[in-house]
Each structure stands twice: as structure tokens, then as C-alpha cells.
Amino acid sequence: MVINGFNSNPSALRELIFHCAITVSGAMDYAHKLFRQILEPDSFVFNTMIRGSSQSSTPSDAFTLYTQMESTHIRPDKFTFPFLLKACSRLSSAFMGNQFHTQISKLGFESDMFVRNTLIHLHATCGSLEVAEKLFDESGKRDVVAWSALLAGHSRRGSIILTFCAISVQGSVDYALLVFHQTKHPDGFMWNTMIRGLGRFGNSFEAFRFYQKMRQKGEAIDNFTILINMDPTADSGNSLINMDPPA
């Protein structure tokens, strides 16, 4: 395909850049080649290239593109920053993340749910849990993405109790389940915590299923596991009464 042939058809060139940067795996180099043919790229083209770079093998290219975007006086929008923040997360670059967070605040995009969720993920990933929690607490609407990002951040820090504290609040067990299933090697404490949370809020069938899985995985059944399922706060009559005693 001859690139110069697209110069007379800007919309076709934009579409080709989008497919190379986003939908076609391994075509980012060709997207850059096409991008250099555009004399006056607009915000859509820049955002497409930044998005593609953020998920490529060289996410730092997104920062270079953002610098180019600023130098051409094209105003970034709410679609620009989530992918810049994604690049920061992939590079574990708290410094660049903080720089973009400042820009986001100045431009008034912090209230956008997509931008805010990406900020929560960035700060949780880079270890700034206090900032992530502040953003989370200030969110008018907390969806599963925000919960998952915050809880996963606590899990990475090793704050298992904090990670699963959500199960003490009725209606939040689903978020604890998300974190549990993201953990490659859950320990006995995590299994016990999930069994207790499920049983406490009336989901005794799922609690029993967790207990069975716990045994299948070879996790030791100890006195704590049994005591959990004798908890008087659990759903009445639904404790796991058929447990084998600990060895």
C-alpha cells in the first residue's frame, strides 16, 4: 500500500491509523509511519496514537506524542489522559503520573468518571494509596472499576485485612470476590475471610462451595475455619455443619 496515496483522502488515513494503532496487533510502527504523513494531525489522531502507544511495547512513546500535541497547541481532552495514565501505570512512573494528574486538575477533567477511575488505578498501582483513597472517597459514583483498582492496590501492598474489609459491609462481597479471584495464591486467611463474608450475608451455598474448593486446593482446615462457620452472625441454620475436624 502506498502511503502517499492517502494524502488526498484524510478520513481514510485517519481510519487506517486507528486500525494500525488500536485493532491490529504489532502494527504500531506502521501507525507511526502513517502519522508522520499528516501535516496537521487533530486531537482524534493524537489520542489514537497515544492510546496505541500506551498498550504497545514502548508505552513511553505516549509521552513524546503528548509533548508534540502540546507543541502544536492542540488542547488535550478527557480522552487523552486515561491512556497517558495507563502508560504511567505500565511503567510504574509515579513522577509522570503526578505531572499528568496536575494537568488533569487544571483542565477540570478530574470529575470525569473514566479519568478518575484511571487516576485511582494509577495511584494504587504506584503505591500512593492515600491519594487513591481520597479520589475514591470523593467520587460521586463508585463503580466496579474504582473498587477493583483500590482493592487491588491494597492487595499489592499486602494489606489483606484492608483488602477484605469490604465484606463487613452488606452488599460489598462482590468486590471482595473480585480481589480474591485476582490473587494467584490465596492463603488460608483469605479463604477463611471469604467464607465468613459469604456466610454472614446469607450466601451459605457459595460459602460452602468456597469451603469445598478450599479442601480441594489442599488448604489446611483449622479451628479458625470451623469457628467462622459457627459464627452466630452468619445466616441462621446455614453454617457448614458437615466439616471434618482438624487433624
How far is the CA of 27 from the CAs of 33, 37, 86, 121, 122, in angstroms? 10, 16, 19, 27, 26
Please list, in sequence order, all residues whose beta carbon lies within 8 angstroms of the beta carbon of residue 216, skipping any fewer than 6 positions away.
none
In the structure, what pLDDT confidence band is assigned to residue 3 with cuts at 50, 70 and 90? low
Which CATH architecture fits 6-109? Alpha Horseshoe (1.25)
User: pLDDT tens digits, residue range 77-120?
Assistant: 999 999 999 999 999 999 999 999 999 999 999 999 999 999 99
User: pLDDT tens digits, residue range 37-62?
Assistant: 888 899 999 999 999 999 999 999 99
| Long-range Cβ pairs for the range 210-217 (8 Å, 24+) | 211/240, 211/243
Listed by start position, the domains of the chain span 6-109, 158-247
pTM, two decimal places: 0.64
Please list, in sequence order, all residues whose beta carbon lies within 8 angstroms of the beta carbon of residue 32, skipping any fewer than 6 positions away.
49, 61
User: pLDDT tens digits, residue range 174-203?
Assistant: 777 776 776 777 767 677 777 777 777 777
In the structure, what pLDDT confidence band is assigned to residue 245 with cuts at 50, 70 and 90? very low
User: pLDDT tens digits, residue range 128-176?
Assistant: 888 988 898 888 777 888 877 877 776 665 445 434 544 455 556 777 7
